[in-house]
Every structure is written in structure tokens, then in C-alpha cells.
Amino acid sequence: MIIKDKDKPLITGLEIGTTNITILIGEILIDGMINIIGIGHCPSKGINKGNINDLESLILCIKKAMHEAEIMAKYHITNIYLALSDKYVSYKNEIGIVPIVTNEVTKKDIKYAIHTAKSVKLKYEHKILHTIPQEYSIDEEIGIKNPIGLSGIRMIAKVHLIIYRNYFPKNLIKAIKKCNLKPEKVIFSGLASSKAVLTSEERHSGVCIIDIGGGNMDIIIYINGYIQHSEVIPYAGNSVTNDIAYAFNTSFKTAEKIKIKHGSVKMLPLYTPELIDICNINDNHNKKIQKKKLIEVIQSRYFELLNIVNKILIKIQKKLYYSGKSYVLESGIVITGGSSQIKSLKSFAEKIFNMQVRIGIPINTQSCNKDIINPQYATIIGLLHYGKNTYLHNKNKINQNNYFKKFLQYVTQLFKKNKIY
């Protein structure tokens, strides 16, 4: 949410992940950059893959992260933008058809067409989280980005709807309100991440962004500048950690440490003898494992995770091909999120997808803590950019209204001065 400090617009984002709870406070700079001035962390407790199993523990974690961010920013947080990722998040591509009454498209026509597209019947307990216009058609003309002022008889609006299961955010919002916070807006994590790491050129040329977190992978596919597909896969970095813990009979905590320190998806030469010291499951006895064996475990799971995404891409490609539409990902694949930092992932992924891949680092963002400008924080930094866009949009509307009011006052005074009735 936008908060004020000496006339500087500030935004707060909250991400409640499977692994960590993070709060960032960002300041909107004149050039549109986000300057992060407050950072708060706490290891996640009371929640697992979006399921709250201990409300009080979750509340304590949020409050701890809040306190850290407030101390650093010297500001009391009241409102936040909240990230949402869950296996029950899904999408629909719908259309809304309206007649062009005045023979020229107006904002009212667009609003009505989008409303018509949103009127689709949803599954029980499902609601629309985001309504994202794709493109418009007027009579025989297709692929229109902005139809205002164009003439015709009938307009079709194509809209991407991101849908969620209603019960899930209710419990999260309950926890947040108990921390005396007001959720300003709930944002799909994948959408937030795309705002943090993608350029406008990448969206328009076609790109697939994959945010690999601890519990979920968020996927968004952009075609010709608009979202064609969005999905959440309930497997991610923690699956890799669990595999390591099982394979080497150690704790999850120890497995996570050796994954971060020694993990890679690049296979070592056959006779590399390098050994790694680890603890057993009770963390009371050191033993040695071959690094080659560790990489085999990690590589196997990453191969599975990325192939899930590749199958989705092939499915979307076939769907668009048979409907006569183009499918081009000129900007390839962008992978972000905490689990994108495993060594050699870029080259490994390029072999699977057979296209260019880059690791997505947040852009248009700065902080005195350089560690924050990191793929791990793509989602929460994206929340700040989402809030920035909302703030600038609202500010522009207020300025337009103020200009209109001043103009009316000027005309009224002119009429009075010249006694025009």
C-alpha cells in the first residue's frame, strides 16, 4: 500500500512463502525506480504450501518480519500488497462481445465488453483475482491493442482471467488483519515476478517466465505482449531438498544447506573423487558423500521440473497452431525465484527447452542491501512495482480531475467577471 513519509510515496509488499516470510518497504523515485528502504525476514512457520496449520505461529512470523522492516525504514506499516501462489490458481481466456452503439469505440464500450467476458460461470468457491485484457477485434479487424476512437459495428474483447479458490486467501487475510495490517491488493505471485524481471520488449516478442520457489513453480506465458497462459505447479525447490534428505539420510535443514553450498545441475567428470561432509538425520554424526552423487539427485529432479513446463509449452503451442494463431517466444525462457540460483541452471535449461534462457534478476530496483536485488526476491519486488503502477495511475487520475475542476473554476470566474449569463 502507498504510505507517506515527508511527501515520498512508499509501498509495502508481503510474501508468505513456504520457506520464508518477507516484507519489503519501497520508495517510488522520480524516475520510476523503486528504492528498497525496509527489509524484514522470518523463516516460515505455521504454513506449508499455502495451508495454514498454526495461525498463531504464522502471526508471530509476520510480526517479526514487520518489526525488522519498520525499524530499518523508520516507518510504521499499516497497508500491504500481498502475493498469492497456490495449486488452485488457474486461468481462463474468455471473450466479451458488444455492439458499438455510437459507431465509435468509447471507454464505456471497453468496460462493458470486459464485464461481459468476466461474466463467465466459475467453479464453486472460485473467484476472479485478475482481469487482464489481451486484444480487441472490430468487425473483421483483429489484433487491436487500443480500440478507442475506432469505428465499426461490433467489438470483441479477449480477456485473460486469473482465478483462485476463495477459501485460501481468506485464512491468509485473517492472519494479516490480526497483525493490524490491511491488504490493499492480492496479487498472483507469477504476475508480480513478471513485473519485476521482464522488460516490455520481452513481453511483446514472446516469453515464458518460470518462478521456481520453495513450494510452487509459477508459470506465465506472454504472446504478442499479452498473457496467454498462467499456471501454478505445486512442486519446486523443496522437492529437490527432500530428495537430498532422503537419498543421504539427513535432515531437511542439512539437505538445504548442502544444496545451496554444493548443489549444481552440471554433471562432474566420471572419475571426480570430490567428497562432501554432511550430518545424518539426527545431525549428530558426520559422514562423507560423493559430490557426483549429490549432483545426480539434484539434476534428476530439476530435469523433471523443467520438463513439466516444457510439456505445457508444447501443449500451448499445439493449441494456438490449430486455432490459426502464431506462437513465438523470441525472448525464450526467463527463470527466476530462489531455486533458480542452482549452479549451471541456464545451460541445463537451454538443452531441455531448446531455446535461449536467462536467469531473471529484478530490474528498475535499487537498495543499500545489494543482496536483495536477487532472483529470490522477484515476487516481492514485483509487488512493489505493481503498487507503484497503481499509485501512478491513481495520481494521474487525480491530476486530471484537479485540472478539470480548475478549468471549470476559471470559466465560472470568467463568466462572473464579464457578467455572461
Give DSSP secondary structure letters for 72-141: HHT----EEEEEE--TT-EEEEEEEEEE-TTSB--HHHHHHHHHHHHT----TTEEEEEEEEEEEEETTE
- What is the predicted pLDDT for the residue at 391? 85
* Cα–Cα distance list, 66 to 26, 87, 179, 302 (Å): 14, 27, 9, 34
Break the chain into its structural domains and give their ranges: 90-165, 200-362
- The three cell numbers of residue 127 are 473467484
* Distance (Å, whole) CA 258 – CA 277: 9
- The CB-side HSE value for 135 (13 A sphere, CA atoms) comes to 15
Return the CATH fold of 90-165.
Dna Ligase; domain 1 (3.30.1490)
Is residue 274 classed exposed, middle or buried when 0-12, 13-18 and 19+ CB atoms within 10 A define those classes?
Answer: exposed
Residue stretches of the chain with pLDDT short of 50? 1-6, 403-404, 407, 410-411, 414, 420-421
In this structure, whether the domain defined by 200-362 belongs to CATH 3.30.420.40 is answered with yes
Q: How many helices (H) and strands (E) does the chain have?
A: 10, 20
- CA angle (69 as vertex; 65, 74 as ends), nearest 5: 145
Q: Which residues make beta-bridge pairs with 327?
A: none
- What is the predicted pLDDT for the residue at 286? 76
- What is the predicted pLDDT for the residue at 156? 95
* Cα–Cα distance list, 295 to 9, 66, 177, 187 (Å): 46, 37, 43, 35
- The three cell numbers of residue 174 are 485473517
Tell me which H or E stretch contains 403.
Answer: helix 378-417
Give the sign of the dihedral formed by CA 202, CA 208, CA 214, CA 215.
positive
Tell me which H or E stretch contains 256.
Answer: helix 252-262
- The three cell numbers of residue 269 are 567428470
For residue 43, the SS3 value is strand
Residues 359/345, Cβ–Cβ less than 8 Å: yes
Residues 372/24, Cβ–Cβ less than 8 Å: yes
- What is the predicted pLDDT for the residue at 88? 83
Residues 30/196, Cβ–Cβ less than 8 Å: no
Q: In what order do the strands lie in the sheet with 357-359?
A: 226-233, 217-223, 207-212, 333-336, 357-359
Around Cβ 358, how many Cβ atoms within 10 Å? 17
* Distance (Å, whole) CA 117 – CA 97: 8
Residues 6+ apart with CB under 8 A from 198: 207, 209, 222, 334, 360
